[in-house]
Amino acid sequence: MPLFSKTSLETLRERIDLIEVLSSHLDLKRSGGSYKACCPFHDEKSPSFIVKRGDSHYHCFGCGAHGDAIAFLMNHLKMSFSDSVEQLAERFGVRIEKIDEKDAPQGPNKKLLRAANEEATHFFSSFLLHTEEGHRALNYLYERGLDLDFVRSFRIGYAPRDTKVFLEAMLKKGHSMDVLAEVALMAQNRMPFFRERIMFPILDAGGQVVGFSGRKIQDSSFGPKYINTSDTPLFKKSKVLFGLHESRKRIAKEKKVIICEGQIDALRLIQEGFNFTVAGQGTAFGQEQANELMHLGVTHIYLALDGDRAGQEAAVKIGHFFQKEGVDVSVALLPEGSDPDTLLRTEGPPSFAKLLEEADDYLTFLVRFYSQGQDLSRPAVKTELVQIISRRIREWNHPLMIHESLRKLAKLTHVPESTIGVDQVTPVDVIIKKTGTLSGESIDPERVLEMDLLRWMLLVGQNMPELVELICYNLKRDHFQSPICRSLFVHILEQFEKGKSCDLLSLTISIDSAEEQLFLSEVLQKKINLAKARTDVEITIKKLLERHWLLKREEIKGKIHSGTCNDEEVLELAKQFDELKRHPPKVIHPESLTIIKKD
């Protein structure tokens, strides 16, 4: 995680035009000296999202959302802190100095890489629309049900058979061979990577092209159906979801998403109104891609993968990523040899909508999948099936979901609950696991609690300021055991007292310690699930209160048994211990939370 210098952050803060940033994402209307828009963080018909010309913060009088440009990108587009800083720096022409890289050679200029991707997108699109060779590919897209406006909107293109045409065009525009290789438009043999393929630009959260997926027209021709940009400084295949930029708003609003395999499947679904659809890179869907969706607060996943064995195996794998985090998964069972695009063309959107409505829940799908070709009347076969599925269930992170899923598995397979250990699972609220830092060192679970709370204060504060005030009302600095977490807690409180509840840039600049600034970046690197914020914040407050209470009791017991106190002091300590015992901690919800305390 890069550490940014204060000087460059100060320069960035001075140059950011918040109106310009917001206008790229919202329909701002001028109203006197201010600009208004319907708030992107809650549903409303009359605009209450306000920003004044020259101000560095926006505010919503409807839901209390408040923050700066970085907070907006992090909350609205779900970008990381460092990505938000770098995108704003690029937009406003600020060279961001990374302290931990002062003496190291500078990496590739991302501005040059983005420019190369943008030029390539323009070339591929023009070639598709304005050449005879491209028109053959365009006709293929028409046959698949995509109309011209949609093709233009998604900037779909075509890579020509003669790769020299592409190379000469890029060099003529001033893009060097080194840059083209760095952005993976050139292969190792110094020839263009994509040839005779329909080109689908892949966008990042800010709508910029970071890579491509190329599909061959003839499925029978040599090579894989899709090839994708290899990993570059801009593009990480393990994190990319095609269509996420276009579907992001509806996904974040409705908390549901359809996952399919191919880009054309995703485009057809989006075109037909299912604009909460994304596609992985074929069946190669990983945990990081699942995390990208969970960061949007998704609570329901529909898997609409191809109706072959590979598609079903992918559904088993992908569904597990989400189920283990408590996200509901439904599996739409497509006919053998079919895919969403085929179903839409042959039977129409209503049939696909019905398919979603009748989709199996994930556990029912698992039983169906592992039962294929099996004789469940044989005890050994049924035993193996139950063991396979129950082992998978026990890998999930939520004990209550494990408990209820094992009960359902027993019902689906007609076996007694006791035989699969239902009674051995205790439904508790939360399990805290060890996690890792950026340096690879393990973090004490107690410190994880403190980091989570700091993260919520920073990222939930924009949409739910009442939760931040709840934290401040219930917790004091001595509730934090980690010195660095305690220090950051104080810094954040100071920002709130100044009315800068989510001014992440000012907070970063205000921190003198390089260690604390790096730690803040680490805290912000992990995103949160807004849908669960209210519950999780209260649970964390309660756990920190309980920890403090237990430590206080142990401290008093230690003094009593130390033998260093006289009778009067022991009596007073015993009273304190009894008082603590009679009043275990609880989260207080006062009617009015207006005072923020530091001590």
Quick one: pLDDT at residue 63?
Answer: 76
Q: What's the pLDDT score for residue 66?
A: 75
- % pLDDT > 70, the chain: 86
Mean pLDDT of 1-6: 66
C-alpha distances (whole Å) from 26 to each of 72, 249, 344, 479, 576 are: 11, 11, 32, 40, 56
Per residue in 540-549, pLDDT (tens digit) is: 999 999 988 8
pLDDT in tens, 445-485: 567 788 888 888 877 765 677 888 888 889 998 899 888 88
More confident residue, 332 or 585: 332
pLDDT at 597 over 70: no
C-alpha span between 138 and 152 (Å, rounded)? 11
Given a cut of 50, is residue 438 above it in pLDDT? no
- Asked if the model's pLDDT at residue 429 lies above 50, the reply is no
pLDDT for 113 equals 93
- pLDDT greater than 50 at residue 154: yes
The greatest distance separating any two alpha carbons of the chain, rounded to the nearest whole angstrom, comes to: 99
pTM of the model: 0.69
Quick check: 349 pLDDT over 60? yes
pLDDT recorded at residue 445: 58
Angle at 513 (CA atoms; ends 507, 519), nearest 5 degrees: 70
Which is more confident, 343 or 573?
Answer: 343
d(CA 588, CA 470): 8
Range scoring the smallest mean pLDDT among 93-102, 306-315, 520-529, 541-550: 520-529
Among all chains, which residue has been given the structure tokens 């009617």? Answer: 591
DSSP state of 6: H
Please indicate whether residue 457 or residue 496 has the higher confidence score (pLDDT).
Answer: 457
**Tokens at 166, concatenated:** 């592409």
Please check whether residue 545 is in contact with residue 479, taking contact to mean a CB–CB distance below 8 angstroms: yes
d(CA 564, CA 554): 16
- Predicted confidence at residue 171, as pLDDT, reads 94
- Report the range out of 145-149, 287-291, 468-472, 569-573 with the highest average pLDDT: 145-149
Please tell me the distance from the alpha carbon of residue 189 to that of residue 193, in angstroms, as a whole number.
9
Q: DSSP string of 561-592?
A: HTS-S-HHHHHHHHHHHHHHHHS-------S-
Q: pLDDT confidence of 426, banded at 50, 70, 90?
A: very low
Q: Which two tokens stand for residue 19?
A: 């109106």
Mean pLDDT of the 281-286 span: 71
256-273 per-position pLDDT tens digit: 999 998 899 999 999 999
Mean pLDDT of the residues in the chain: 83
Residue with tokens 């209550």, as numbered in its chain:
400
Given this model, what pLDDT does residue 104 score?
Answer: 40
Of 59-63, 471-475, 514-518, 595-599, the range with the lowest mean pLDDT is 595-599
Lowest model confidence (mean pLDDT) among 58-72, 200-214, 371-385, 518-532: 518-532
Q: Per-residue pLDDT averaged across 511-522, rounded?
A: 69
pLDDT at 439: 36
Q: How far is CA 191 from CA 100, 300, 508, in A?
A: 35, 43, 44
On the question of pLDDT at 581 being above 70, the answer is: yes
Residue 428 has pLDDT above 50, yes or no: no
Angle (CA) 499-501-502 rounded to 5° is: 135
The residue-averaged pLDDT of 324-350 equals 91
179-226: pLDDT as tens digits: 999 999 988 667 889 999 999 999 987 788 999 999 998 876 677 888
